[in-house]
A and B are shown apart, each in its own frame.
Chain A
Amino acid sequence: MASRKNIWLNIDWVSVLLYTILVFLGWVNIYAAVFNEEYNSIFDISQRYGKQLIWIGAAFIIAFFILITESRFYQFFAYPIYGFIIFLLVTVLFLGTEVNGAKSWFIIGNVGFQPSEFAKFATGLALAKYMSSHNFKLQNFRSFGIIAAILLIPSLLIFLQNDTGSALVYVVFILVLYREGLSGIVLFFGVLAVTLFVLALVVDNALLIAIMITSALVIFYFIRHKRKFFLKVLLIVLSVCGAVLLVNLLLSNKSRIEDILIVLSLLLAITFLIFSIRLRLYSYVLLLLVFISSVIFTLSVDYVFENMLGDYQQDRINNLLGIKSDPHGAGWNVNQSKIAIGSGGFNGKGFLNGTQTKFDFVPEQSTDFIFCTVGEEWGFLGASFIVILFLALLLRLLWLAERQRSAFARIYGYSVTSILFFHFVVNIGMTIGLVPVIGIPLPFFSYGGSSLWSFTILLFIFFRLDANRLQQNL
């Protein structure tokens, strides 16, 4: 059983390869984003791509040292590491330097260091350590309180640094809790309310309601009782709807599709509701009520937000949500970002040929909005390739997490997956206008040493634990 001892054979090289590809492509795009005819040496360390190259080199060295460290180290030192990072988060509030309005940096000489980036893996370790302990039970009130504390302390400290984006990341640990036994209803309603609220602010209502109708139909389809009966009702209602739409089109009525969809969906829902009550299928009643209230909630979010709140209140909610104050007026960043990505077309303008990025139209080009460069220069092909790469990495990590024997490694694995997932959703979602502008980096892609290193540490600790999975059952 020599292979048990040799960690190099047990490392999941597929994930390491995906990581390496992402880091490399990230660097290529940073190069393109800051490319300037004046400085064209790849290794010019006065330029961001030159510096990123140094950081990538350092990241590989860090990864190497993590891999050669004994895997029990991370479990034994989970709490001290967490404690140390909390200590740093507190000190940065007093001794830190303010960059872009957030007091989250230690600047020594001209090297910056952001403790909040490293708080993510530390929290993952602490959570995994606590939840894998023998006397842990999620339903226990005390245990639940401790978990809440582990998650809320770093989140609050980062919030105090005025870095709302990074503070919001801790919401995603709900996925880890769900996997470890948190009731699905909590997850369902949590996700539903947050998604609806955020989407309602960002997306057209019509699209949103269309999504809701479709998902309602899909759910109905999977409900087993009286499926045929419901299909018949559905068919009748849909044909009525189709007829109304057709008449509407023929008369070239100017009613907005949005309004028609709302009326139709409510009609549909009420019909089902009446039938469900008469057939005493109360679980359906519940489902329909959730659906109807979701529609009303969505409509009211927009209405309340735009008509009943003053400008400054809207700003306040935007701030609360971490939507950045927009220096060029409402929606400038997102609009420019969409123009850049949209102008890329199917196969892009080609490497270094992006025009929107050269005009400095898109802000934070090499950090938060790096995905614009991908979209503009590599087009739909390149952008969806990156999305697929991330999907592949996330699903692979999920699979790795499930194959762990120790609860510690599994919980940590889920934490890693969830954190990366959150960054992926929020960052790319923001550049294509699906999520409000929240300034957090795209893992492995965005320019910056702290973020690259923290994601590398996060990931490679898990690889190290995974490589050890056969050796012991902790």
Chain B
Amino acid sequence: MDLLARRRYVIGGFILIVGVIFIVKLFNLQVLSTTYKQYATNNVVRKIVQYPSRGLIYDRNGELLVINKAAYDLLITPREVSVFDTTTLCNILKIKKTELEEKIRDAKEYSNYKPYIIVKQISPETYAFLQEQMYKYPGFYIQPRTLREYPRKIASHVLGYVGEVDDQALQNDKYYQVGDYTGISGIERAYENLLRGEKGVKYFLVDVHNRVKGSYNNGRSDVLSHLGKDITSTLDADLQEYAEQLLKNKKGSVVAIEPSTGEVLALVSAPNFDPNLLVGRERSSNYFKLSADTLQPMFNRALMARYPPGSTFKMVNALIALNERVISPYTQFTCAHGYHVGSFTQRCHHNQAFRLTGSIAQSCNAYYCYVFRYILEKPLFEGVRNGYDVWREKVLSFGFGKKLGTDLANEAAGFVPTSEYYEKNVFKGSRWRALPIISLAIGQGELGITPLQMANYASILANRGYYYTPHVVKNIEGQNGIGPRFLEKHTTLIDDEHFEKVLDGMERVMEPPGTGWHSKIPGIRMCGKTGSVQNPPYIAHSVFMGFAPRENPQIAISVYIENGEEGSYYAAPIASLLVEKYINGSISQRRKVLEKRMMEAELLNPFGLN
């Protein structure tokens, strides 16, 4: 053991030798050598972030919806700034001297060492001139950026916009730095990670006069930036633009979906705004104006507004009743200007008996009161509450009462009350009966459904019982398709066999004496349903949903026109014009009058007093 104990000297010697080597090396590095000091004091290496241009966005036919334009930011590093001619710089930049001084103060407050943006988004013309003068301004430099431009000025709510990252995003994602841009809403936000590409870094050697002398380390230290990926959206630019024209001077929304794929063809929320307003140096003042507008142009009604579905909901009740075998297509109910039980009355306009198709075509309220009671009071369910739970489960399978999971953010879930909700607010421990909640029969009451869900419902009927999650992106550059999420078939809890009977009724809506016959499109077999959403004390909303053609449907659509009163007044004509435009490419001569009337209608006053 004694011999081994001597080995401590070997190990100790080892430790000592390493320590001595380190100290010698440190001495060499810090005291003898001068190269490293020069590197540090001259600060010869400048790091310039290379911003890749953002991916472009196309419509489904390859037309450009969003493009990039060049702009330049002016940055300063306060520590490197020496005396300079403030007046000339202000003249070039067209800003006030006080403003510049204030910005420089901000920059110093931020950091003496890190670059800080003092003037944003300088135009290419100014840049060309400024670039020649830059040698006079040590500590200042220019960084190219790209801004968005929207050549067709449409679809602001789908495309979204781009703005500076906020503190939250800075914290959550290390990729961003103060002053970076990011998608704030719509496709710009949902596909941010693909659109933004990847920033690169270039290192330059700069002399004391701020002139670039060449690349550092022969460019070996640089990181290449990667361009953002281009995105093809599912929108049809022409249809989108036409829908926006039709909704001019109205509040409301249009959602059109291709039923066979779930691709959104058009999505309009009116009033809307020119997306170009939220670009460039006027962005913040425009943003403020838009958010202060009482008509809420920034609010995306198509995704976030919640309306009761009104009469358009009758097909859901019909389908559930057929599926539960509580009625057959030939069951007849009589309407005597309404539905009467004891002192209760649900009013209606007819004085005749209806079968299923007729009840849809002429939108009989009484018929659906009978149907709804038959469902809830079906003996097999042993109680109205159980009946309600079965009903609700079937309703949810139509995509109501939950977020559909589209690729756009801020989608509202809508509302289909649970039995607990009614227990708490309506029955409060008393026996469950169908009458207190009978307004669900005709799509009124507590129900809340978004226009997107309504269009998806039209899509389900077009497909006879299933849907694909609606989405706004069709293709991404360099990727094959858009992932399995949008290829999954969602099937309703209704057996396929029942749909055709209901569609018979919907087709007859478009024929006299159907509620929508004024909007019939010559040569196209369209299925639809009008609705009127009560909105006391204001004028009711005009609603229409439907699809066309009946065989091999190409387009499913929902239209909401706020304060448009009856579905047949505005929503049905507008929907029919959009369908005609999409399928035929143009509006037939004899319907030009209708088109003109719709375009010119003004419905911005909720009291209807013009």
Interface of A toward B, CB cutoff 8 Å: 36-38, 175, 178-181, 184, 327-330, 332, 338-346, 355-356, 358-361, 375, 379-380, 383-384, 387-388, 390-391, 394-395, 398, 401-402, 414, 417, 421, 424-425, 428-429, 432-434
A contact residues around B45 at 8 Å (CB): 361
Q: Nearest Cβ in chain A — how far from B47, in angstroms?
A: 8
Given contacts A36-B111, A342-B30, A432-B26, contact A355 B11 (CB under 8 A): no
Chain B, range 383-405, C-beta contacts under 8 Å to A? none
B19 pairs with A383, CB closer than 8 A: no
Alpha-carbon gap, A141 to B564, bound state (A): 93
Nearest 7 A/B pairs, CB to CB: A342-B36, A343-B40, A329-B221, A380-B30, A329-B220, A391-B19, A358-B113
Q: Nearest Cβ in chain A — how far from B365, in angstroms?
A: 55
B12 pairs with A383, CB closer than 8 A: no
Q: Nearest Cβ in chain B — how far from A419, in angstroms?
A: 13
Q: Nearest Cβ in chain A — how far from B332, in angstroms?
A: 64
B217 pairs with A329, CB closer than 8 A: yes
B222 pairs with A329, CB closer than 8 A: yes
Among B15, B16, B26, contact of A380 (Cβ-Cβ < 8 Å): B26
B15 pairs with A341, CB closer than 8 A: no
Chain B, range 488-525, C-beta contacts under 8 Å to A? none
A contact residues around B213 at 8 Å (CB): none
Residue of B nearest to A428 (CB): B22
Q: At the interface, yes or no: B593 with Cβ under 8 Å from chain A?
A: no
Spot the interface stretch: B2-10, B180-188, B423-431.
B2-10
Alpha-carbon gap, A411 to B18, bound state (A): 22
Given contacts A179-B11, A340-B40, A342-B37, contact A387 B4 (CB under 8 A): no
How many A-B pairs with Cβ below 8 Å? 122
Alpha-carbon gap, A297 to B178, bound state (A): 51
Q: At the interface, yes or no: B31 with Cβ under 8 Å from chain A?
A: yes
Instruction: Flag B220-259 by CB within 8 Å of A: 1 or 0 each.
Output: 1111000000000000000000000000000000000000
Q: At the interface, yes or no: B592 with Cβ under 8 Å from chain A?
A: no
A contact residues around B223 at 8 Å (CB): 327-328
B contact residues around A345 at 8 Å (CB): 30-31, 37
Given contacts A328-B223, A387-B26, A432-B25, contact A37 B201 (CB under 8 A): no
Given contacts A36-B111, A329-B220, A358-B113, contact A339 B19 (CB under 8 A): no
Q: At the interface, yes or no: B21 with Cβ under 8 Å from chain A?
A: yes
Q: At the interface, yes or no: B480 with Cβ under 8 Å from chain A?
A: no
Q: Nearest Cβ in chain B — how far from A7, in angstroms?
A: 25
Which interface residue of B21, B25, B40, B111 has the most chain A CB atoms within 10 A? B40
Q: At the interface, yes or no: B175 with Cβ under 8 Å from chain A?
A: no
B18 pairs with A425, CB closer than 8 A: yes
Q: At the interface, yes or no: B172 with Cβ under 8 Å from chain A?
A: no
Residue of B nearest to A360 (CB): B114
The secondary-structure label for the interface of chain A is helix
A contact residues around B201 at 8 Å (CB): 328
B contact residues around A343 at 8 Å (CB): 36-37, 39-41
B contact residues around A181 at 8 Å (CB): 4
Given contacts A345-B31, A380-B30, contact A402 B5 (CB under 8 A): yes
- What would 18 A/B residue contacts be, using CB atoms closer than 8 Å? A178-B10, A178-B11, A184-B7, A328-B201, A339-B40, A342-B35, A342-B39, A343-B36, A346-B30, A361-B45, A384-B27, A387-B22, A394-B15, A401-B8, A429-B22, A432-B25, A434-B22, A434-B25
Not counting A387-B23, A388-B23, a sample of 20 additional A-B residue pairs whose C-beta atoms are within 8 angstroms of each other reads A36-B111, A179-B7, A332-B217, A332-B221, A342-B29, A342-B30, A343-B37, A346-B30, A355-B113, A375-B29, A380-B26, A380-B30, A383-B30, A387-B19, A387-B22, A391-B15, A394-B15, A398-B8, A398-B12, A434-B22
Residue of A nearest to B24 (CB): A384
Alpha-carbon gap, A431 to B516, bound state (A): 80
B contact residues around A432 at 8 Å (CB): 22, 25-26, 29
Alpha-carbon gap, A380 to B30, bound state (A): 6
A contact residues around B86 at 8 Å (CB): none
Q: At the interface, yes or no: B410 with Cβ under 8 Å from chain A?
A: no
Alpha-carbon gap, A356 to B31, bound state (A): 17
Q: Nearest Cβ in chain A — how far from B72, in angstroms?
A: 23
A contact residues around B217 at 8 Å (CB): 329, 332
Residue of A nearest to B29 (CB): A342
Given contacts A355-B43, A391-B15, A391-B16, contact A180 B4 (CB under 8 A): yes
A contact residues around B220 at 8 Å (CB): 329-330
Alpha-carbon gap, A380 to B111, bound state (A): 28
How many chain B residues touch A (CB < 8 A): the figure is 43
A375 pairs with B39, CB closer than 8 A: no
Alpha-carbon gap, A179 to B5, bound state (A): 7
A434 pairs with B21, CB closer than 8 A: yes
Alpha-carbon gap, A390 to B37, bound state (A): 27
A179 pairs with B37, CB closer than 8 A: no
B contact residues around A360 at 8 Å (CB): 114
Alpha-carbon gap, A401 to B7, bound state (A): 12
A contact residues around B296 at 8 Å (CB): none
Alpha-carbon gap, A416 to B237, bound state (A): 71
B40 pairs with A179, CB closer than 8 A: no
Alpha-carbon gap, A340 to B39, bound state (A): 9
Q: Nearest Cβ in chain B — how far from A349, in angstroms?
A: 9
B contact residues around A387 at 8 Å (CB): 19, 22-23, 26
Q: Nearest Cβ in chain A — how far from B319, in angstroms?
A: 47
Q: At the interface, yes or no: B193 with Cβ under 8 Å from chain A?
A: no
Among B4, B43, B114, B221, contact of A179 (Cβ-Cβ < 8 Å): B4
Q: Nearest Cβ in chain B — how far from A256, in angstroms?
A: 19
Given contacts A329-B221, A384-B26, A398-B11, contact A390 B36 (CB under 8 A): no
Residue of B nearest to A379 (CB): B30
Alpha-carbon gap, A54 to B34, bound state (A): 40
Residue of A nearest to B5 (CB): A402
Q: Nearest Cβ in chain A — how far from B37, in angstroms?
A: 5
Residue of B nearest to A332 (CB): B221
B40 pairs with A356, CB closer than 8 A: yes
B contact residues around A329 at 8 Å (CB): 217, 220-222
B contact residues around A340 at 8 Å (CB): 40
Q: Nearest Cβ in chain B — how far from A363, in angstroms?
A: 12
Alpha-carbon gap, A341 to B37, bound state (A): 9
Alpha-carbon gap, A37 to B114, bound state (A): 12
Alpha-carbon gap, A395 to B14, bound state (A): 10
Alpha-carbon gap, A175 to B11, bound state (A): 7
B contact residues around A179 at 8 Å (CB): 4, 7-8, 11
Q: At the interface, yes or no: B286 with Cβ under 8 Å from chain A?
A: no
Chain B, range 98-117, C-beta contacts under 8 Å to A? 109-114
B39 pairs with A339, CB closer than 8 A: yes
Q: Nearest Cβ in chain B — how far from A407, in angstroms?
A: 9
Residue of A nearest to B113 (CB): A358
Residue of B nearest to A327 (CB): B223
A338 pairs with B4, CB closer than 8 A: no
Among A344, A394, A425, contact of B30 (Cβ-Cβ < 8 Å): A344
Alpha-carbon gap, A268 to B29, bound state (A): 31
Q: Nearest Cβ in chain B — how far from A376, in angstroms?
A: 8
Q: At the interface, yes or no: B33 with Cβ under 8 Å from chain A?
A: yes
Alpha-carbon gap, A384 to B30, bound state (A): 11
B contact residues around A361 at 8 Å (CB): 45
B31 pairs with A383, CB closer than 8 A: no
Residue of A nearest to B34 (CB): A342
Among A330, A375, A395, contact of B26 (Cβ-Cβ < 8 Å): A375
Instruction: Flag B185-216 by CB within 8 Å of A: 1 or 0 each.
Output: 00000000000000001010000000000000
Q: Nearest Cβ in chain B — how far from A357, in angstroms?
A: 10
A contact residues around B16 at 8 Å (CB): 391, 395
Q: Nearest Cβ in chain A — how far from B272, in angstroms?
A: 40
Which interface residue of A342, A355, A417 has the most chain B CB atoms within 10 A? A342
A contact residues around B22 at 8 Å (CB): 384, 387, 428-429, 432, 434
Instruction: Flag B398-425 by CB within 8 Å of A: 1 or 0 each.
Output: 0000000000000000000000000000
Given contacts A330-B220, A343-B37, A380-B30, contact A37 B111 (CB under 8 A): yes
B15 pairs with A421, CB closer than 8 A: yes
Alpha-carbon gap, A303 to B499, bound state (A): 79
